[in-house]
Chain A
């Protein structure tokens, strides 16, 4: 009984540790704001109101949380499989570009066909972009952290090329403005807006459903079982007859597919055209979101809301107390740093506990 209570308390403690980490980052932010001559109370009030203070604010937060959640789910799957996917940015971009190409150049004016087709294309493109590092890791043992980062750069410059050349909006050429963006997606590919005039769309619902799907996949299916087995102990998995490289690659492919879908939903649900910087750092912040959620797809849901809130609230804070946008980035960076540190702290602690037992 005593042991049960202790283990329950330890679990609770581990779960709320990220929240402490966030608070700690905000406390340090107080000193930074003071030194900038701003009133921290006003600033944080703006941050909170911007994130959760009104219905509109909450909707904005949820919109931002959606791609974070999808990337986060993907990161969970990769981590569980013992591989690290830093390539969310590139996978988002490739997902958006590929599905935009389908939407623009495949004239089938049917929502029933086009929406699933576009989203599946986004997933497939992300899967390919994540699968290449996965394949390199599986076949040749190339470090996937390096390759995914490099794949990000390739995606960014490829997108710059397409948005300025082959895929540029024809209107932009006619007008002579030449803004780097595609034409608007045809209306029949748009995801349904849930609360017009806001951009909240059905993509959010899909993301939450997929979080549960990922949970079931990882813990209730043989594929997820093998991914986790490989992630924990590849030697034992090999001994048990599991083909380790295949499941490492599969974890990367699935992870990429979720990030690719994030790009697709951002495109067809929110932006309706591919812009430069459509990935908006979701690929990186999604990693922190997943860590925040203890690398569990369900835990990632509230984590995404919290992080989406920080992003939205940060904008509001920037406007209302007139701090430089770099400050917001610094604050987010601090949160990331503390969450990761807290994560390491809690793993070390549980290792120590295990040792003492």
Chain B
């Protein structure tokens, strides 16, 4: 019975996959230039490269979404031609996309069964599906409630559903497209255990990433792409971050920054016992008090969902405080509008940059003046002055090395890193007294990340008071003078930045007070 409905049972297991001399040309771009890649059963291969290096294009060809212009794909030494994802799934290849393809108002088991033929046509065979699904879950130590609705699940759990779905369809080879981008540090650890278990069970895993420490932690081998070419294939032995970064970017990359001691001035932003509710009306920030002085970077570390977003939005004036006071430059601004805060010298880099930070359909110039369009020299008497706008934008684009064909390119055509540089250019162009930076380098490639970090440090030396909200502990530790850890809406402790260890911060992020650690 199962043979009929699950093609996995009848096909040969994949032992080896090779992609040889793959070349793919798009108008104006050589996306893949004679790329080679090989992965064997029981192995985790990391595919490393910056945004736009050709990782996605390569994988889309493997997944049958694009046809290579030249080159061959071999499975177990035999050449294959895939014309659609259906062929690929039949061959035993599954892909887990960065954005999940789940129906949120169906249950887990319904999602697993979705699109497959029922063995009890015309009735659903959900109990059979559930049984088989739970077998898979047991094999790989995946904790899942088959009858929970997707919308009830955390992001990490949703990812597990995607994995089960793919395994259920009989995939031997799994392609994971930046799977950790949406996970918290704890979830990443669990996820890596699942991957190792899958490798033990003789699966082939291709792990697409641009996070160096994850690649080093999980992979057996690394293939590095740069500008569409494979620039290296390395066994993961004695590899260092610096080595990988250099291959990826094509030049040495600094991962530790030289920092002068902070020259701290007056308190610029004072947060007093602030309480903020989330979208469901529950208290999410529960009495946070912080002081940020000019010339310092205060890092706010924490696992996502512990109130960082609500706090940032309250500081930006996008969300009401239910209690407490926010004081900018010794003037109370708890109820001030976003506009008034901008006038008071506060800049804000929002977490959801595509949704809140920019207008995708506007061009670069129009996005650059988003907050200042009503000010001289950009406009006078309601009339926009495009020559002044173009001049200022050009200077900022050069200054922040935003890569774009023209100033009138729509922002939706820029890469994530360039969008973030543009936002940074806009927010720092005002030379703010206060900067709220929420996840400033999430989803940004390493070259741009380094650049953004340098600009934040430069701004620090110019006297800006910065609140850096990040889930990336490396980032927090590299930049912060002091680190506050937030847990369940409360500040659980504030530690000195340069001396804080990852272990100590990790425990605090899990809710263990500093004193209890001793």
Contacts and interface: CB of A to CB of B under 8 A. Distances in A.
Interface of A: 2-3, 6, 220-223, 225-226, 228-229, 232-233, 235-243, 354, 357
B281 interface: no
Nearest to B380: A222
A318 B379 CA distance: 53
A233 to B, nearest CB: 4
B311 to A, nearest CB: 15
B153 interface: no
Contact of B27 (A6, A220, A242): A6
Nearest to B386: A220
Interface string B10-47: 00000000000000000110000000000000000000
10 contacts: A3-B28, A220-B384, A222-B374, A225-B373, A228-B362, A237-B359, A238-B338, A240-B338, A241-B371, A243-B339
Contact of A241 (B338, B355, B357, B358): B338
Contacts of B164: none
A357 B413 contact: yes
B350 interface: yes
Contacts of A237: 359
Contacts of A221: 379, 382-384
A241 B336 CA distance: 11
Given A233-B361, A238-B338, A241-B342, 19 more contacts: A2-B28, A220-B386, A221-B384, A222-B379, A222-B384, A225-B384, A229-B370, A232-B359, A233-B355, A233-B358, A233-B360, A236-B356, A238-B318, A239-B316, A239-B318, A239-B338, A240-B370, A243-B337, A357-B413
A140 B412 CA distance: 31
Q: Which residue, A226, A236, A237, has most C-beta atoms of chain B within 10 A? A: A236
A108 to B, nearest CB: 32
A223 B384 CA distance: 10
Interface in B379-402: 379, 382-384, 386
Nearest to B372: A240
A348 B370 CA distance: 27
B366 interface: yes
Interface in B315-354: 316, 318, 337-342, 348, 350, 352
Contacts of A223: 382
A228 to B, nearest CB: 8
A216 to B, nearest CB: 9
B366 A225 contact: yes
A223 B381 CA distance: 11
A240 B316 CA distance: 10
A237 B339 CA distance: 10
A217 to B, nearest CB: 9
Contacts of B338: 238-241
Interface string B237-262: 00000000000000000000000000
A229 B382 contact: no
A239 B384 contact: no
A208 to B, nearest CB: 21
A133 B386 CA distance: 34
Nearest to B352: A235
Best-buried of B341, B355, B359, B360 by chain A (most CB within 10 Å): B359
Contacts of A236: 355-359, 370
B350 A239 contact: yes
Chain B CB within 10 A, most for which of A2, A6, A232, A239: A239
A225 B371 CA distance: 11
Contacts of B357: 236, 239
Closest 10 CB pairs of A and B: A241-B339, A240-B370, A241-B338, A233-B359, A240-B371, A232-B361, A232-B359, A239-B356, A3-B28, A221-B382
Contacts of A3: 27-28
Contacts of B374: 222
A242 B318 CA distance: 12
B384 A2 contact: no
Contact of B412 (A220, A225, A229, A354): A354
Nearest to A219: B384
Nearest to B65: A356
A197 B70 CA distance: 72
A12 to B, nearest CB: 17
A22 B341 CA distance: 51
Nearest to B26: A357
Contacts of A222: 373-374, 379, 382-384
A15 B268 CA distance: 53
Contacts of B356: 235-236, 239
Contacts of B27: 2-3, 6
A357 B412 CA distance: 10
B60 to A, nearest CB: 10
A251 to B, nearest CB: 16
A236 B353 CA distance: 9
A226 B374 CA distance: 10
